[in-house]
Copies of this chain bind each other. A is one copy, B any other.
Amino acid sequence: MGVFSKTCEYGIRAVLYIAHRTTDGSRVGIKEIAAAVDTPESFLAKILQDLSRKGVIQSIKGPNGGFFLETPSLQRPLADIVKALDGDEVFSGCGMGLTQCSEKNPCPLHKEFKKVRNQLAHMMTTTTIGQFNKELLKGTLSLKK
């Protein structure tokens, strides 16, 4: 088990792919996306459908349709993808699974785990969906395997 679910891993990869492939208002189809980020096509379709319903990405049906990102969407943090797919437990939950864990009623790991959580949250909220576009176009960053 990684930090994020498979659903979320696939989602992040797909959204970053869509971001750098559609800067010009064009759209990209599920087949191409799934191949490019190496995920099961119909499972990814469900995930993108979900992200589209939640407004993280945009989509249009029919010929020349597909998935794309409106310009403002490129400024959104990656954390939005995670929250949409996995919820925000990973950013706020107790490391040992205690629901009542807090400053007043801390678990043994509370203080230290909070630092890690916060660093993860900070990283995912300051990183935007669009910020890797140049490097993805250059091919210096990978989205598959």
Contacts and interface: CB of A to CB of B under 8 A. Distances in A.
Interface residues of A, number: 47
Given A108-B16, A120-B116, A1 B86 contact: yes
B108 A3 contact: no
B1 A96 contact: no
Q: What number of copies of this chain does the assembly contain? A: 2
B142 A106 contact: yes
Interface string A117-141: 1011001000100001001100001
Contact of A2 (B6, B16, B93, B143): B93
Secondary structure class of chain A's binding surface, majority of residues: loop
Most buried by B among A94, A95, A96: A96
Contact of A9 (B13, B96, B135, B144): B96
A105 B135 CA distance: 12
8 contacts: A2-B97, A4-B97, A6-B97, A9-B95, A12-B96, A13-B98, A106-B142, A116-B120
Interface of A: 1-6, 9-10, 12-13, 16, 78, 86-87, 89-90, 93-101, 105-109, 112-113, 115-117, 119-120, 123, 127, 132, 135-136, 141-145
